Amino acid sequence: MKSDNVKKGMQQAPHRSLFNALGFTEEEMNKPMIGIVSSYNEIVPGHMNLDKIVAAVKQGVAEAGGVPVVFPAIAVCDGIAMGHIGMKYSLVTRDLIADSTECMALAHQFDALVMVPNCDKNVPGLLMAAARINVPTVFVSGGPMLAGHVKGKKRSLSSMFEAVGSYSAGTMTEEDVKEYEAKVCPTCGSCSGMYTANSMNCLTEALGMGLGGNGTIPAVYSERIKLAKRAGYAVMDMLKKDIKPRDIMTKEAIINALTVDMALGCSTNSMLHLPAIAHEIGFDFDIAYANDISEKTPNLCHLAPAGPTYMEDLNEAGGVYAVMKQLLDAGLLNGDCMTVTGKTVKENVANARNLDPEVIRPMDNPYSTTGGLAVLKGNLAPDGSVVKRSAVVPEMMVHEGPARVFDCEEDAIDAIKSGKIVAGDVVVIRYEGPKGGPGMREMLNPTSAIAGMGLGSTVALITDGRFSGASRGASIGHVSPEAAVGGPIALVHEGDTIAIDIPNMKLELKVSDEELAKRKAEWTPREPKVTTGYLARYEKMVTSGNRGAILELK
C-alpha cells in the first residue's frame, strides 16, 4: 500500500507516533488509508450539505475495509462573487484547488481518494488533481438544487439575474423582484439549471470518474446519501483492482465527455475546463474539436437557461446515462472506456432508458442536429471564441451590427441599464480575459441585463472574459488572443461593424487588414490591474482562454 511509506518499518516510528496522536488503532494502521476531499463550507449553497455527503462516504469506505480520513478543499460561490472584485477570484481557485489537493494527497501518502465537490471550479480543480495524483479516485458531488416556483412556473438563479434587468426596464416591480428573490433558490445544492457546476458534475459521469446519478440526483434526495455510500464502496473496489484516474481519463474519455457536453447543452465554461483536464494527462486539447464533434452530435436537452426544464427533470428522465445510451447506440461514444465502476461505459449504460422524450429528445427528434456549443474563429478571434448556440435565439444566429466598446464589465452594465444599448448593437467587453482581468470574470450581469431589458433577441455580447452557464443569448466569450496581450479585440473601435455567423463558425471585424495592422502598431500594453497577491502571480503564469487558462512557467 502507498500509505506503508508513512506507516511501516522502523524509520516510520516517528510517523506512527503522530498517527497515534490522531487516535489511529493498530487495526487501522494495517488498513488502506482513504483520503476524502471535503469541499464543505457555509458560504456556498451547493456545499452546505457536503458534511452529510462526506459522512456517508466515510461510512461506505469503513464498511468496505478502509480508513477514511477527511481533508478540505476551498470553493467559491460564483453567484455571490458575481459583479464585483470577487469574480476575479473564481476561475483562479481551480488551480489552487488542484495544487492544494495534490500537496495534501502526496504529502500524506493516501492509498486512494474520494473527491466531494459540487460547484463550478471545484469540480475541474479536483479532476485535475486526480489526474496528477493518480491513485484510485471516485467523485461524488453534492447534487443540484431543486428548481424554484414563481407564479406557477419553475425558475432558477438565471431568472433572478434577469429579473433585475426587467426591473431596470420598468417591466417588473420591486415586489416582483422580492418574490423571485425569496423563491428561485429554494434548497441547498448547485443552482438548478445546466450551469457550470451541473455541467461539470454531469461530465464527470461522462468521463467515467463518477457513479451514475452523480450529476443529476437532487441534493435533497436521500438517494444522494446512498450514492455517497456507494462511492465509498467503489473506491475500495478500485483499490483492489488497481484502477487509477489515468486509466479512466484518457483522450477517448475526454472526447466522450465533449460529445455528451454537446448533447446536454452544457455551459461554455466546459471549454475552459476540459482542455485543462486534458492538459493534466498530456492531451493537447484544441477547442476546435468542439466543431467537429458538434457537426455529428445532436443537441438533445434544453435545460435552463436554454429551455424550461431543470436538473430534477433530467434526473427523472433517466439522467446522464440515458443521454449516453442514445449517443452510444448511434455510434457517437467510445463504449470501451473504463470507469470508476470497474466496468466500461457500454456496460454502465446498458440498461439506461429515456423516460421523457421531451426532456431528453430522441436522436431522430433533437432540438437541433448540431451540438450545444460552437467555436467561432475569424479576424476578431484568430485562436477561437466560444458560444452556447443552444441558448441563442434563431434570429441571432447570424447578426451584424456596430460595436459598442467597453474596457470593463461595470461600464458595460451601466450603459445597458441606462438605455444606451439599442437593438442591433454588438457589446464588446474587453480586458477581462485570464490576464487582463486578471481572472477572466463571468459576465452574467450584463447578459442578464440585456435579456431583462428585452434585448436578448437583438443585441450580441462579445468578450475575452467568460460567461456563467446561466447566461443565454448571442453571448460569445473566451475571445483569443485576449486584449491584454494585444489580441484583435483590443483593436476594435466604437462603431466598427462586427459580423457574427454561428452556423458557419465565423466572428469577423469588418475592418481592412491594413487598418488593423495600423491599429496594432499604435497599441500599447496596459499596466496590470493587480500587482500584489495571488492574482498578480496568476496573471504572470496564465495562458489564453483557448488553451483552458492553464498555468505555465514562462
The residues carrying an active-site annotation are 468
Residues forming beta bridges with residue 139, ordered by sequence position: 115, 210
DSSP state of 463: E
Cα dihedral: 135, 138, 139, 142 (round 10): -130
Phi and psi torsions of 241, nearest 5°: -90, -5
Q: Is 347 left (phi over 0), alpha (psi -120 to 50) or beta?
A: alpha
DSSP state of 83: T
What is the spatial distance between Cα 386 and Cα 376, in angstroms, rounded to a whole number? 6
Instruction: Map residue 339 onto helix, strand or coil.
Output: coil
> Which cell is 321 given?
446515462
Instruction: Map residue 344 onto helix, strand or coil.
Output: strand
Instruction: Map residue 435 onto helix, strand or coil.
Output: coil
DSSP state of 209: S
Farthest CA pair distance, the chain: 76
What is the spatial distance between Cα 288 and Cα 75, in angstroms, rounded to a whole number? 30
What is the spatial distance between Cα 528 and Cα 165, in angstroms, rounded to a whole number? 31
Is there a contact between 79 and 112 (Cβ–Cβ < 8 Å)? Answer: no
* Complete DSSP assignment for 357-414: TTTS--TTS-SBSS-SEEEEEETTEEEEEEEEGGGS-GGGSEEEEEEEEESSHHHHHH
Is there a contact between 197 and 46 (Cβ–Cβ < 8 Å)? Answer: yes
